[in-house]
Structure formats: C-alpha cells, structure tokens
Structure 1
Amino acid sequence: MKIGIIGGTKLAVTLGNKYLSRGIDVIFGVRKDFLPKQIEWKILDMQQDKLFPYCDAIDKADIIFLCCENEHLPQICACLISSGNHDKIIIDCTNGQYNPELGCNTSYIQQTAGHNKIVKAFNNLGLDYPKSDPLELLKETYFCGDCDVDKIKIKKLIELIGFKAIDAGKLQNAFLLEAFYHLRKEISFIKNSQNDYHFKLMSV
C-alpha cells in the first residue's frame, strides 16, 4: 500500500512522517513551484522518491490524503478526474471557508472530480497541525463516509498513528465535521487567545 499525501502544509508533512515511522510507503504531492523551506520538507526533498507534482503523486498512490490549501483544490481535482484514479480512496482532511451557504470542501471535491470513494477525516486537526496542538494532547479525529469497507480501512489507518477514530456516519455529515473546526477557531477568536481550542467526545 502506498499513501499519497497531497499538499505542502504542516499537516501534510506531519501525517506523512507519522506513517513513515510506522513503515508505510508514503509519497508527497506538491505544486510545481513548491519550495521546501522547513527542515522536514528539506529532508524529504533530499530523497529521490518522496516529492512529486500533484498528478504524479495521485497516480502513484493507492490511498490519497488531501492536506492542501483551498486555493489548490481545483488543480488537484483536475488530477483526480483521471479515470485511473476513480477506484482510489480519497481522504479529505481540509476545511472550506466559513460560510454555510457554500457547503463544504468534501462536496466540492465530490462534484468537481466526480469521485465517489471519499472519506472525511483529520480535518479537526487543521492544516497547521501540530502547531495547533504543541503538546500533542489531541488524540482523536472524526471520520465519515458512505462505504463501510473503505471506512474500516481508514479507521485502521487513523488508529495506526495513535489517534482514536470516531465514526461520524455517512459522508453527508462532512459539513458537520467542518463546522466543528470552524467552531473551535471561532472560540479562539472570541477569547482573543493565543491558545487553540479542541473538542473531546465523552460518553455519559
């Protein structure tokens, strides 16, 4: 199994390195003008087989994590349209802009790329993770999707790197998962705090 992490973000390199440390074959897809400035990216760039353009990484991978900035989603969706990618599981880790009328990124990806094998996961971490959780206290992520077989695979992948996987139902609930992210960012803004806020699920 080869995982493709798409996007030149902190979340992308963090998740990718976590899977690499578990012995998983990981490649990274970045835009063609991407400059590896952070030390983690420089280390990956020194390896011949780790950094590829978006389309190449998507073509080579079996499971694809989208951890990119929103401005690059149209280009990535164009790569996903390729017929050879329709059977690959896409894990959307992104969050749309906070605007209830615009829907969510997951719906955009599904409609634009015509791709049905999509699971939402890891979006509660944010693209700046682990900056948003410097002590690594956050140990859970929510996921949703329509295919039970795909969700079992993703649950195992989530748990492999130490997170508790919380099933949030069908893919139609992706907008609720994005709302979780926006709510915690709104709380941080209202409190005018340098700290970040996260939610924890409890059974009572």
Structure 2
Amino acid sequence: MKLGILGGTSLAKTLGSKYLDAGLSVVFGVCSDFDTEANEWKALNRLHHRICPFESAIIQSEIILICSENEHLTEICAALKNVDLDDKIIVDCTNASYKQKLANTNTTQIIKAAPKAATFKAFNNLGIDYPNSDVLGIIKETYFCGDHEQERLRLKRLIELIGFRAIDVGRMVNAPLLEAFYHLSKEICWNKKENSCYHFKLISV
C-alpha cells in the first residue's frame, strides 16, 4: 500500500515521517513553487526520494491525505479531477476558514473534484502546524467520518498505525462538527491571550 500526502505543511511532514517509520511507502505531493531545499524537506527527499507534484502523488497512491494550506486546495482539486480515482481513499485533514454558519467547504470541494473516490475527514484536529501545536506530544486521538463503509476499517487501522486513537463519528454529514472543534480550540487560545494551545479529549462515562 502506498500513501500519498498532499501539502508542504508541518502536518504533512510529520504524518509522513510517522508512516515511513511504521514501514509504509509514502509519497509527498507539493505545489509547483514549493521549496524542496528547506532543511527538513531536503533531508526527507534525499533519504526517500518521495517529493513530487500533486498529480503525480495522487496517481501513485492508494490512500491520499490532504494536509495542505487552503490556498493550495484549488490546485489539488484540479489534480484530482485529472486522474482516475477508482478504488482510492481520500482523507481530508484540512480546516476551512471559520464561518459562523457551520459548513465544510474544503471537504465539499474535494468531494466534487473526486466523486469516484472514498473520501473521509480525519486528522484535522491536529491542525496544519502540528506538531508545533502539541510540543508535549499529548494529542493521542483523532476523529474521522465518511460515507464509505468498506473503507472505514482500512482508515481506522491507518490512523492507529502511527499511535493515534481513531474515533469514528459517523457519516460525512458530521464533517462540519469536526472543524467546529478545531476552530473552538483556536478561539479559546485567542480569548485567553496565551501562546498555549488547547485541545479536546473524549471521555466515556
């Protein structure tokens, strides 16, 4: 199984490194003007030779994690439209810009671009600056949702492979709720006027 991770973010690099350490084959898709000479990415590319354009990464991969900045989502969706996505799984790890009305605009855009793929939402609670948002390494869980029952177990195992607890929150209609958690954590940080990051933990009673 080959994993494609799209985006030149810290989240993309961190998840990719974790999956490489777990023994998976990983390819990173980045935008055309991405600086592959940046120290951490240069080392990653030298060791694994795995940085390529978005479309190439999508073609090579069975499971695709979208971990990009929002500004690159249009380019990613254009690449998704250009390739055959049958039997591929797409995981949206992004968060759209906050709006008072709950809406998963990034996820909707991705689904429209890749109607034949099994699309899920996961890892977005980490944020694209992860692990800088969790310097103590205390986040041990991520929530996921999607409408494709046969691929749910594969995604759950993929999440658990790198040490996260995979919490299934149901169908894709719940994707806006996952983004709401992310934006609420940012609002807490802003209102407290602290440099600290705040995260949520699920507790069963």
Q: After the TM superposition, which of the residue ranges 134-143 and 77-86 deviates more from structure 2? A: 77-86
- Identity across matched positions, percent: 53
Post-superposition offset of 1:148: 1.6
Per-residue deviation, residues 163-184 of structure 1 (Å, max 9, x unmatched): 0000110011001000000000
Q: Displaced runs of 4+ in structure 1, greater than 6 A?
A: none
Q: How many Å separate the matches in 2 of 1:179 and 1:102?
A: 7
Per-residue deviation, residues 52-86 of structure 1 (Å, max 9, x unmatched): 00111111111100000001111111111135124
The AA in structure 2 aligned to 1:152 is: L
Q: How many Å separate the matches in 2 of 1:89 and 1:121?
A: 12
Residues 96-111 of structure 1 mapped to structure 2, 5 A cutoff: 96-101=96-101, 103-104=103-104, 105-111=106-112
TM-score (norm 2): 0.95
Residue 2 of structure 2 corresponds to 2
Q: After the TM superposition, which of the residue ranges 5-14 and 27-36 deviates more from structure 2? A: 27-36
Q: How many Å separate the matches in 1 of 2:39 and 2:8?
A: 13
Post-superposition offset of 1:198: 0.2
Q: Is the 8 A contact 2:85 2:117 kept in 1?
A: no
Residue 155 of structure 2 corresponds to 154
Residue 17 of structure 2 corresponds to 17
Secondary structure, in 3 states, of the residue corresponding to 1:35? coil
Q: Is the 8 A contact 1:80 1:86 kept in 2?
A: no
Residue 32 of structure 2 corresponds to 32
Q: Is the 8 A contact 2:85 2:114 kept in 1?
A: no
The AA in structure 2 aligned to 1:142 is: Y
The AA in structure 1 aligned to 2:17 is: N
The AA in structure 1 aligned to 2:9 is: T
TM-score (norm 1): 0.95
Residues 65-144 of structure 1 mapped to structure 2, 5 A cutoff: 65-101=65-101, 103-104=103-104, 105-144=106-145
Q: Is the 8 A contact 2:55 2:83 kept in 1?
A: no
Post-superposition offset of 1:33: 1.1
- Quote the RMSD (CA, aligned, Å): 1.5
Q: Is the 8 A contact 1:81 1:115 kept in 2?
A: no
The AA in structure 2 aligned to 1:91 is: V
Per-residue deviation, residues 9-34 of structure 1 (Å, max 9, x unmatched): 00000000000001000010011111
Post-superposition offset of 1:111: 2.3
Q: How many residues align?
A: 204
Residue 145 of structure 1 corresponds to 146
The AA in structure 2 aligned to 1:90 is: I
The AA in structure 1 aligned to 2:44 is: L
Residue 50 of structure 1 corresponds to 50
What are structure 1's unaligned runs of at least 5 residues?
Answer: none
Residue 182 of structure 2 corresponds to 181
Residue 170 of structure 1 corresponds to 171
Q: How many Å separate the matches in 1 of 2:33 and 2:93?
A: 22
Q: Is the 8 A contact 1:7 1:66 kept in 2?
A: yes
What are structure 2's unaligned runs of at least 5 residues?
Answer: none
Return closer, same or farther for 1:116/1:61 CA change in 2, 3 Å cut-off.
Answer: closer
Q: How many Å separate the matches in 2 of 1:200 and 1:125?
A: 12
Q: After the TM superposition, which of the residue ranges 178-187 and 105-114 deviates more from structure 2? A: 105-114
Post-superposition offset of 1:115: 4.5
